[in-house]
Amino acid sequence: MNYYDKNLIKYIDPSIVLHPLFDDWLIYVEDILLHDEFQKRKLFPHHHNLSVWDHSILVSFKAFLAAKYFNADARICAIAGLLHDFYTQAWLYSDDLAKIDDGKYLKDYGIRKPLFKMHGFTHGADAATNYVKFFPELEHKKITDAIKKHMFPLTIKPPKYKEGFIVTAIDKLNSVREMPSITVMSVDFSKKIYRKMFKKI
């Protein structure tokens, strides 16, 4: 294992850091993880007790592994997985986020919106625009498509590329595991899918 910035590694799940393919994954995403704007996602509440930072790393790493299993582009999946929720407006409130907010990240919080303007329908397109703003050097049609359509079927149009389907599937499976309101049956099903997908990795 290479030497890593302790301030970076301590915020990543140990099971990922200790994985034999961690170094290969980190090569693709380290610059994103160290970026100030992405670092702020530690303060964005997400599913249950996780932050957007936590969820995005889990999706990114597992999509990276799945890409290797399904002979897809692992770099595309790692980057798209990490940035799929890189939206601009937090959908949940936190005091820590409010302290740095200055009207930027919480300006839409609590505002009632029509169904199709709600977070689940819009944040993919928001993230697809936002990642290009902060990481223009990473712009790629497959990354953009995967991020924009990761909420399929809410997006109506499905992902165009294999990598997009991988990110979408991994995001859904992870979300099932992260949400305490999901039934035990659903969690068990997601575990079976993971074992089947990653048993050869």
CATH of the domain at 117: 1.10.3210
Query: Residue 96 in contact with residue 78, Cβ under 8 Å?
Result: no
In-domain check, residue 30: yes
Q: What percent of the chain has pLDDT over 70?
A: 67
pTM: 0.78
Residue appearing with tokens 């497959």: 142
pLDDT confidence band for 184 (50 / 70 / 90): very low
Q: Per residue in 79-119, pLDDT tens?
A: 999 999 998 766 555 566 666 656 565 555 555 665 555 55
In-domain check, residue 91: yes
Q: What percent of the chain has pLDDT over 90?
A: 49
pLDDT at 1 over 70: no
pLDDT at 182 over 50: no
Domain of residue 96, residue span: 6-198
**For residue 32, what pLDDT is reported?**
96
Q: How many structural domains does the chain have?
A: 1
Q: Per residue in 127-180, pLDDT tens?
A: 999 999 999 999 999 999 999 999 898 888 999 999 999 999 999 988 777 565
Residue 21: HSE in the Cβ half-sphere, 13 Å Cα cutoff: 18
How far apart are alpha carbons 94 and 36 in whole angstroms? 19
In-domain check, residue 87: yes
In-domain check, residue 73: yes
pLDDT at 54 over 80: yes
In-domain check, residue 1: no
In-domain check, residue 136: yes
**For residue 118, what pLDDT is reported?**
59
* Helix axis angle, 184-198 to 162-178, nearest 10°: 140
**For residue 191, what pLDDT is reported?**
54
**For residue 41, what pLDDT is reported?**
87
In-domain check, residue 20: yes
In-domain check, residue 126: yes
How far apart are alpha carbons 126 and 155 in whole angstroms? 12
